[in-house]
A and B are shown apart, each in its own frame.
Chain A
Amino acid sequence: DTEVTQTPKHLVMGMTNKKSLKCEQHMGHRAMYWYKQKAKKPPELMFVYSYEKLSINESVPSRFSPECPNSSLLNLHLHALQPEDSALYLCASSQEGQLSYEQYFGPGTRLTVT
C-alpha cells in the first residue's frame, strides 16, 4: 500500500467553525507533513512530524493545530480561520523519519473559508 489518504476531499467552513482534516498512511513511514498550496503556487510547508513528535513548525498561526495520534495518522485542527486560509491542504509522508527521502502525497483537502 503506497497510498496516503486524506479526508474530507472538500470542506467549506465559516470563520467561527471548528473542523479537522485527517491524513492516514500505512507505509510504515515515520515522517509526516502538512503543506498549504494556493492556486498556481508551489506547496508551502506548515508542519513536520518525525516519529510522532512535532519537529518543524513554520511559524504557522495558532488557528492551525496539528496532531499526530500515532505513526499512521496526522490531523490538522482548524479553528477561527480567515478567508485567506482557503487553499488546498496536502499531507505527505516519507520513510524511516529520514526527511531527505522522497515524499508521498495525498490528494489533498480543498478548503474554502466563508
Chain B
Amino acid sequence: SQQGEEDPQALSIQEGENATMNCSYKTSINNLQWYRQNSGRGLVHLILIRSNEREKHSGRLRVTLDTSKKSSSLLITASRAADTASYFCATWMDSSYKLIFGSGTRLLVRP
C-alpha cells in the first residue's frame, strides 16, 4: 500500500535552475527519507529527516518536514544534468515496521 504521494509526477527544468518536489503522507511517521534512482538502477539514499526535525541540508539538497500538514519537500539547488533521475520519498512508521515509498517524481534536467 502506498503511504506517500509525490507531486509533481514529472518535472523538466534547465540546468542551473532549482527543482522542488513535494511528498504528502497519511499517517504519523517516525522519519521520512528521500531516495534517488537513476534509470533502471538501484536506489541511493539522499537524506533522512526525523519527525522532530523541520529542516535538513546536505550539499545542494534541502529537505523540509511539516508534520502538521503531513508533507515534506525536497529542494535541489543549481541543478545539473546528472541530477536527472526519479526521486522517491519514503516514510517509516513504527506501526507498520517498514519503509513505504511514495509514487515518485521523475526529474529531467536539460543541459
Q: Which residues of chain A have a CB within 8 Å of any CB of chain B? A: 4, 6, 40-45, 48, 55-56, 88, 90, 92, 99-108, 110
* A56–B97 CB distance below 8 A: yes
Q: How far is the CB of B41 from chain A (nearest CB, A)?
A: 5
The answer to whether B97 touches A99, judged by C-beta atoms less than 8 angstroms apart, is yes
Q: A42-B102, A45-B99, A56-B97 are in contact. Are A102 and B42 (CB under 8 A)?
A: no
Q: A42-B2, A42-B104 are contacts. A105–B43 as well, Cβ < 8 Å?
A: yes
B103 contacts across to A, CB distance below 8 A: 41-42
B30 close to A100 (CB less than 8 A): yes
Would you give 27 A-B contacts (Cβ < 8 Å), ordered by A? A4-B42, A6-B42, A41-B103, A41-B104, A42-B88, A42-B101, A42-B102, A42-B103, A42-B104, A43-B43, A43-B88, A43-B101, A45-B98, A45-B99, A88-B40, A99-B92, A99-B98, A100-B94, A100-B99, A102-B45, A103-B99, A104-B45, A105-B44, A106-B42, A107-B42, A108-B41, A108-B42
Is B64 among interface residues, defined by CB-CB distance under 8 A? Answer: no
Chain B binding surface SS class: strand
Give the CA-CA distance A6 to B48 in the complex, in Å. Answer: 25
Q: Is B71 an interface residue (CB 8 A)?
A: no
Q: Chain B: which residue is nearest A101 at the CB level? A: B48
Residues from chain B with Cβ under 8 Å of A45 in the complex = 98-100
- By the criterion CB–CB under 8 Å, are B98 and A90 in contact? no
Q: How many residues of chain B are within 8 Å of chain A by beta carbon?
A: 24
B98 near A48 with CB under 8 A, answer: yes
Q: Given A100-B30, A100-B92, are A56 and B41 also a contact pair (CB < 8 Å)? A: no
CB contacts (< 8 Å) of B45 on chain A: these are 102-105
Please report the C-alpha to C-alpha distance between residue A40 and residue B39 in the assembled complex, in whole angstroms.
Answer: 10
